[in-house]
Amino acid sequence: MESNQNTEFPIPGRVSADELAVWWERVRRELDSRSDTESWLRQVAEHYLSSDHQFPLAAHKEILRVLSHMEEAHPVLEMRLLGNLETPANLLGQKMGALGACGGASSLIRLDAELSPDKLGSPFVRKMHDTALARLRRRATGKGLVSLSSLSLPAGIALVLECVSGLEDTLAAVLMRECGTMVKTVKSHTMKGKVEVRPGEDWRWDWIDRVRLFEQMRFDTVQSRSVIPSDSMAPVWVEAAVQSGLPDIVSSCTQGARRFAVRVEGATKIASRQLVAVARALEDRLNAVSSEGEGTDRWVNDPRTEDWVFVFTETQKGYLPSLRLDRRLWDRRFEYRGKLVPAASKPTVAAFLAEWAGRLPDGARILDPFCGSGMELIECGIRFPTARLFGGDTSGEALDAAKQNVIAAGVVVQDFRECDVSEWTSGGFDLVVTNPPFGKRARVDDVVRLLETFLKTTAARLVPGGQVVWICPQPKRCTRFAAGLGLMLERKSRLDIGGFEVEAQVLRKH
């Protein structure tokens, strides 16, 4: 098999038409796992423009399906597709999909005004035509500007912070400390992964960077309301969303197009056609309501580039609406994460461990012997800016990632070592903070031996009164073992990390 040398990705050369079609189909299915999707798609487009006549029909269909994943306009590709809409006719549906992805005003005019229904032929082509028109109209509407500082919460709406199960009480305490009189009440839902906040009169949004323990935020209605039965028609779902007051939040802080998506969370599967019907009906209803009032900015149902998501969450009695704002629009806390390694710590869990360390003396020495990509060290460096940080790992790749991340975070680490935990010979540490290896790929016996070695080394390297703040995957066994080494359990909390029940612990050296 030869490769085409005109691109930066290998394209099979001397293979059959069927093999080439299978290759393109595999490429299309692997798109979601790529980190460089848009730039790679532009390479595909350039290859298509230079050699589309060479593709057999089946491969031609697959490459057009690949190009339908583009998010940015490509005028040259658009002109090529518009100039060949009629031939071959059995590619028309796929060309519609690609035009919806890469087209602009020319495509919108051509598809909307010049293609009559009798030219569209099959139901599949008509469906692709309608989908392409919808995408082109959304692009023409433009992107709205969301200003978090302008976001106001109507009466009866609460802010809900979502977190790893087990972090709720600590998150609530940090909120009270950082927000003070800005909040009216804070309610912790233990082991349910959420903290409910009722804002006070002088509410502001400047606390987000200081509260580092939550993953996402959403807006819930707190007044009693009827739930939505799962078999309800679209108007019932739409009425619940509109009457909840959630659209008022979007209107309060968005200038221009209000891009949204609709999603359902729960164990019961909702048919995609029902979800599409709800999204389209909600778009029509919100635009009708907007046109009756003072605002004229359009609501756009766009699940590819949405700023807002109306979430219908399943309960025992039915579904309840809530609203989420795209995390990329408000979360700058963990932008230092430029490079990660498999099974890297969640930065919110790392921030939780740093919070549990309490108060440390100026110049405290902090060690993470399983530092991975550096999350715990970075969060400790942010919380304790005068501390001296030390990190180790057996993986050189992990240490390279950690070095890049600490630089991006503006944190200084005194020493990184590629070594086993037992090889730390220096001591005098005030705090050892870590999230050791565990999970499906690790054998229980191997993990237990590693943890016992870790505890022995830690007991020898801590100063009297020093702490171990860590994630313990074997709490009963490790707590007994640690006590025999003079490391006494002072605090614990059960956590659910990626489906694994573990225990956060604070051990004190006596």
Predicted confidence at residue 5, as pLDDT, reads 37
Answer positive or negative: Cα dihedral of 23, 25, 27, 29: negative
The pTM of the full predicted model, rounded to 2 decimals, is: 0.76
Predicted confidence at residue 175, as pLDDT, reads 94
Under a CB-based contact definition with an 8 Å cutoff, are residues 402 and 435 in contact? no
The candidate with the shortest Cα–Cα distance to 71, out of 37, 32, 118, is: 37
Task: Output 377 or 31, whichever has higher pLDDT.
Answer: 377
Predicted confidence at residue 264, as pLDDT, reads 93
pLDDT in tens, 322-367: 999 999 889 999 999 988 787 788 999 999 999 999 999 999 999 9
In this predicted structure, the answer to whether residue 224 has a pLDDT above a threshold of 60 is: no
Instruction: Give 4's pLDDT tier (boundaries 50, 70, 90).
Output: very low
CA–CA distance, 390 with 285 (Å, rounded to integer): 57
53 by DSSP, 3-state: which? helix
Segment 404-432 shows an average pLDDT of: 92
394 by DSSP, 3-state: which? coil
250: left (phi over 0), alpha (psi -120 to 50) or beta: alpha
8-state DSSP, 164: -
* CA angle, residues 206, 212, 217, in degrees to nearest 5: 70
Residue 126, C-beta contacts closer than 8 angstroms, at least 6 positions apart: 117, 120
8-state DSSP, 165: B
In this predicted structure, the answer to whether residue 259 has a pLDDT above a threshold of 50 is: yes
Segment 404-423 shows an average pLDDT of: 93
Quick one: tokens of 166? 């087990």
Predicted confidence at residue 293, as pLDDT, reads 46
Under a CB-based contact definition with an 8 Å cutoff, are residues 387 and 381 in contact? yes
CB atoms within 10 A of CB 236: 16
Supply the DSSP string of 13-52, one letter for each residue: -S--HHHHHHHHHHHHHTGGG-SSHHHHHHHHHHHHHHHG
CA–CA distance, 146 with 294 (Å, rounded to integer): 18
Under a CB-based contact definition with an 8 Å cutoff, are residues 416 and 399 in contact? yes
Predicted confidence at residue 467, as pLDDT, reads 97
Under a CB-based contact definition with an 8 Å cutoff, are residues 115 and 129 in contact? yes
In this predicted structure, the answer to whether residue 295 has a pLDDT above a threshold of 50 is: no
Ranges 118-132, 146-160, 445-459: which has the least confidence: 118-132
CA–CA distance, 172 with 192 (Å, rounded to integer): 13
Ranges 230-234, 247-251, 282-286, 506-510: which has the least confidence: 230-234
* CA angle, residues 343, 307, 103, in degrees to nearest 5: 105
Predicted confidence at residue 7, as pLDDT, reads 42
pLDDT in tens, 6-64: 344 566 666 677 777 777 777 777 776 666 677 878 888 888 888 766 777 777 888 88
CB atoms within 10 A of CB 151: 18
The candidate with the shortest Cα–Cα distance to 214, out of 161, 174, 170, 178, is: 161
17: left (phi over 0), alpha (psi -120 to 50) or beta: alpha
Predicted confidence at residue 118, as pLDDT, reads 64
Burial of 434 (0-12, 13-18, 19+ CB in 10 A): buried
In this predicted structure, the answer to whether residue 186 has a pLDDT above a threshold of 80 is: yes
Supply the DSSP string of 98-137, one letter for each residue: HHHHH--HHHHHIIIII--HHHH-SHHHHHHHHHHHHHHH
pLDDT in tens, 227-242: 888 788 899 999 999 9
Phi, psi of 320 (to 5 degrees): -120, 140
Mean pLDDT for the chain? 86
Predicted confidence at residue 32, as pLDDT, reads 63
Instruction: Give 460's pLDDT tier (boundaries 50, 70, 90).
Output: very high
Segment 395-403 shows an average pLDDT of: 93
Segment 428-447 shows an average pLDDT of: 80
pLDDT in tens, 205-214: 999 999 999 9
CA–CA distance, 114 with 98 (Å, rounded to integer): 18
Task: Output 100 or 161, whichever has higher pLDDT.
Answer: 161
